[in-house]
Amino acid sequence: MTRETCINAALLLGLLAVPLWAWATDEAFTITLATRVAILALAGVGLNIALGLGGLVSLGHAAFFGVGGYAMGILASHAQSYTPLAEWPLVIEGSTSMPVIWLVAMLFSALAALAVGALSLRTSGVYFIMITLAFGQMFYFFAISWPAYGGEDGLSIYVRNGFPGLNTLDPIQFFGICFALLALALWLNARLARSPFGLALGAARQTPARVETVGLSPFRLRLTAFVISGAITGLAGALFADLNRFVSPTMFSWQTSGEIMVFVILGGVGRLYGPVAGAALFITLEHVLGGLSEFWHVYLGLLLLLVVLFARGGLIGLIAGRQVAHD
Amino acid sequence: MTLILFIEQLLNGLQFGVMLFLMAAGLTLVFGVMGLINLAHGSLYMVGAFAAAAVAGWSGSFLLALIAALVAAAAAGALVELLVIRRLYDRDHLDQVLATFALILIFSEGTRYLFGSFPLYLNIPDALSGPVMLPGGIAYPAYRLALIVIGLAIAAGLFWLINHTRLGIRIRAGEADREMIAALGVDISKLYTIVFALGAALAGLAGALVGAIQAVQVGMGEPVLILAFVVIVIGGIGSIKGALIGALMVGLTDTMGGLLLPALFGLFMDNSAAQATGSAIASMLIYILMALVLIWRPQGLFGVRA
């Protein structure tokens, strides 16, 4: 077992132990914090597939996070008001069932990622960063100016959506759902990295010319990775909306994109558990520094600057040392 | 819709585009010469606006406020270049994005700490506060007209600087081959600081000029920054000409779209639905324009590299 595997196991167990301990001592707020960590880590895992495996620096992942959130908001608000979503050509009813919402959220964020990716992957490097950022902003302005679902004010959902056999209003049970999905996504990410697709994608990041020479298309590999990445971030968006029982255009804002990227970087780019470490650190900082000073973002900025300039492997890189030879 | 409204909006679009150019020119220069993507450019815009508002409040002079904006933004730019940006030139774009994102957090919260969360107001100078009568009987705010004139004058000055001065030759040489001009004895790190400070000063000036018609507040820079990115993607990285044409296209598309689309949808929808659909689509119009340019010319209208 390498040192990184030990850290990964400790992270996952820690994320499980903290809310269980909080549940035993009846600290509902800590459970909510842990749920936020799990959900934001899930969004980071999504981005890490594009960023870590594919080398695609996307600053527009808030678009998929928001699409996931709005999928939940729109379905649940229609179910809440007993009005069908569409009556023609076929009647589509709203839904308050989590599995249905998750599928819809993933489907639509994958479609959004397909459209954004197909356009922005025509370019690379700094163009790609600017274009993904711009498309993210497009979704933001659309959500603000589209009045049907709350516009600037967003949508409130009064009751958390249900999951068969569980009481989702109980914080620890909702945490369990989020944690299970995070674990599933991490497992998927690990499988993906070792699969022929993941290896080809890694090769396309390192030497695209050679990948082309053996008959693979780097564009299609990257687009596939981008779509998978968008779908996972969309799922996280649906869960995040369910946690807050509220969706607003803020989910689409460029700050959200930046923060998702910060989770990945604070933890360590391309590290499987980087987003988990990053999200945990981010929420802890927000909670601790936010309690000390209203202006805690200054300290976050300084910390991020230090990590980028001096500790390039992020938190996991700092503890586990340099990445082993396979990269 | 009358012709007068149409011409007014056309001028508004021109004014918006010219101000976007001031932002985009600095960004595209910094990218062209140093190969750096700078997300904190919007913060320099904000620094200029706050410096102007503070000095105007203290001295009452708009001209002093503009000078303060230029000086403060250039100084902030030079300081940031010396402390942080300089370490990022040979890093990959991901590191540059993160470090400059961190700078946004520091600048925004620092400004909030100094000036508070409430917006400041910068008054238009008295001489320019009234309307001007344009030929054809159109009354147009003198200040906005002045913005167009100032912006175009700066654009002309920038073209002259790049094409006809020694500094311009060095900037162009730096874009073409940085090792070579270093070998020819140009102090490259000083050149980089100057280019960065120049870009910062342009952004700060834009912030101060626009600050007089909008509120001066924390976070005012980033929406403009993202629009400036759209401008650069359309115009092509590193091209000042591309930045000017891209900026005018974005400014006009955004303003005219907001005016024309609801009217267009009004032809076959009832009024409130047309207003809603039209303005929702108008808010996406510049991004659709960007997507079209990407499909047609991924390197931008005047870009050389893809």
Beta carbons of A301 and B106 less than 8 Å apart: yes
Which of A 112-141 lie inside 8 A of B, CB atoms?
119-120, 122-127, 129-131, 133-135, 137-138, 141
Contacts of A125 in chain B (CB under 8 A): 93
Which of B 63-122 lie inside 8 A of A, CB atoms?
84, 87, 93-95, 97-99, 101-106, 108-110, 112-113
* pTM summary value: 0.90
Cβ contacts of A290-297, under 8 Å, gap ≥ 24: A295/B109, A295/B110, A295/B112, A295/B113, A296/B109, A297/B105, A297/B106, A297/B108, A297/B109
Q: Which of B203, B201, B171, B204 is nearest to B188 (CA)?
A: B171
User: Quick one: average pLDDT of B75-87?
Assistant: 94
Mean pLDDT of chain B: 89
Instruction: Dump pLDDT digits (tens) for B44-70.
Output: 999 999 999 999 989 889 999 999 999
Distance from CA of A126 to the nearest CA of B (A): 7
Query: How does residue A220 score in pLDDT terms, banded at 50, 70 and 90?
Result: very high
Give the per-residue pLDDT at B102.
93
Find the range with the poorest average confidence among A20-34, A41-55, B274-288.
B274-288
Cβ-nearest to A301 among B37, B103, B279: B103
Give the per-residue pLDDT at A197.
95
A102 close to A291: Cβ distance less than 8 angstroms: no
Beta carbons of A137 and B104 less than 8 Å apart: no
pLDDT at A106 over 60: yes
User: Quick one: average pLDDT of B280-284?
Assistant: 85
Query: How does residue A327 score in pLDDT terms, banded at 50, 70 and 90?
Result: very low
Three-state SS for B196-207 is HHHHHHHHHHHH
Q: Which residue of B has its CA nearest to A259?
A: B101
Q: Which residues contact B132 (CB under 8 A, 6 or more apart)?
A: B139, B140, B141, B142, B145
| CA–CA distance, A86 with B34 (Å, rounded to integer) | 52
Contacts of B31 in chain A (CB under 8 A): 126
pLDDT at B169 over 70: yes
Find the range with the poorest average confidence among A108-122, A238-252, A259-273.
A259-273
Q: What's A154's DSSP letter?
A: -
pLDDT at B264 over 90: no
Q: What percent of chain A has pLDDT over 90?
A: 52
Mean pLDDT of chain A: 89
**Chain A with chain B: Cβ pairs closer than 8 A:** 124
Query: How does residue A326 score in pLDDT terms, banded at 50, 70 and 90?
Result: very low
Cβ-nearest to A295 among B112, B282, B294: B112
The residues facing A86 across adjacent strands are A92
Helix axes B271-296, B240-266, angle to 10 degrees: 150
Give the per-residue pLDDT at B267.
84
User: Quick one: average pLDDT of A279-297?
Assistant: 86
Q: Is the CB of A254 inside 8 Å of chain B's CB atoms?
A: yes
Instruction: Dump pLDDT digits (tens) for A75-105.
Output: 999 888 888 877 777 778 888 889 999 999 9
pLDDT at B292 over 70: yes
Q: Which of B211, B10, B8, B50 is nearest to B125 (CA)?
A: B211
Beta carbons of A308 and B229 less than 8 Å apart: no
Q: Which residue of A has its CA nearest to B113?
A: A295
User: Quick one: average pLDDT of A230-241?
Assistant: 96
pLDDT at A324 over 50: no
B34 close to B195: Cβ distance less than 8 angstroms: yes
Give the per-residue pLDDT at A323.
54
pLDDT at A223 over 50: yes
Give the per-residue pLDDT at A316.
78
Q: Which residue of B has its CA nearest to A314?
A: B95
DSSP A77-111: HHHHTT--SB-SSS-B----BHHHHHHHHHHHHHH
Beta carbons of B276 and A146 less than 8 Å apart: yes
pLDDT at B156 over 50: yes
Give the per-residue pLDDT at A236.
97
pLDDT at B1 over 60: no
Give the per-residue pLDDT at A241.
95
Query: How does residue B266 score in pLDDT terms, banded at 50, 70 and 90?
Result: confident
| Residue A155: its H or E element | strand A155-156
| CA–CA distance, A84 with A90 (Å, rounded to integer) | 10
Helix axes A171-194, A3-24, angle to 10 degrees: 170
B193 close to B34: Cβ distance less than 8 angstroms: no
Residue B123: count other Cβ atoms within 10 Å of its Cβ.
Answer: 13
A250 close to A256: Cβ distance less than 8 angstroms: yes
Distance from CA of A289 to the nearest CA of B (A): 14
Instruction: Dump pLDDT digits (tens) for A193-213.
Output: 999 999 999 999 999 899 999
User: Quick one: average pLDDT of B157-185?
Assistant: 88
- What is the Cα B191 distance to its own chain's centre? 22
Distance from CA of B242 to the nearest CA of A (A): 15
User: Quick one: average pLDDT of A171-199?
Assistant: 94
Give the per-residue pLDDT at B281.
85
pLDDT at B306 over 50: no
Q: Is the CB of B226 inside 8 Å of chain A's CB atoms?
A: yes
